[in-house]
């Protein structure tokens, strides 16, 4: 795998792109997913990549078991917070403003 990472890094360099190895991580999927101190030691630009169990990709939280629990938990926290804001100010605003707040703060998620 490290040889493929070297090829990816070479492609980035040839196309005048950069890859931040400090922000790059990897994840092993499955029931017997790799642990943090596993056999896999992936190296990019001389820095060892870290193995993660949960990562956010394009707004979707993915875990190594491929279940939806981390994503649902994050959405629940976000929606509860936004619903609480609307609940606290509901008597101070009219229905059209409440609907606009709902559309922007809750429906968008």
**What sign does the dihedral 27-28-34-40 (CA atoms) show?**
negative
Domain total for the chain?
2
φ and ψ of 65, to 5 deg: -95, -5
Question: Are residue 62 and residue 100 in the same domain, yes or no?
Answer: no
Per-residue pLDDT of the chain (109 residues; tens, 9 = 90+): 788 888 888 898 899 998 888 888 888 887 665 554 556 788 888 888 888 888 888 989 988 888 889 999 999 999 999 999 888 988 898 889 888 988 888 888 8
Question: Are residue 74 and residue 50 in the same domain, yes or no?
Answer: no
Around Cβ 52, how many Cβ atoms within 10 Å? 14
pTM: 0.65
Question: Are residue 48 and residue 97 in the same domain, yes or no?
Answer: no
Residue 79's domain spans which residues? Answer: 68-109
> CA 108 to CA 4: how far, in whole Å?
39
Nearest residue to 4 (alpha-carbon basis) of 46, 43, 57? 43
Question: Are residue 77 and residue 49 in the same domain, yes or no?
Answer: no
Nearest residue to 102 (alpha-carbon basis) of 76, 89, 83? 83
Question: Are residue 36 and residue 55 in the same domain, yes or no?
Answer: yes
């Amino acid at each position: 795998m490290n040889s493929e990472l070297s090829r990816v890094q070479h492609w980035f360099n040839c196309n005048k792109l950069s890859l931040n190895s400090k922000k790059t991580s990897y994840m092993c999927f499955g029931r017997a997913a790799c642990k943090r101190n596993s056999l896999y030691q992936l190296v990019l630009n001389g820095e060892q990549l870290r193995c993660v169990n949960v990562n956010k990709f394009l707004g979707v939280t993915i875990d190594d078991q491929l279940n939806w629990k981390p994503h649902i938990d994050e959405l629940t926290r976000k929606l509860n917070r936004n619903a609480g804001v609307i609940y606290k100010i509901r008597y101070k605003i009219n229905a059209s403003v409440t609907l606009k707040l709902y559309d922007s703060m809750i429906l968008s998620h």
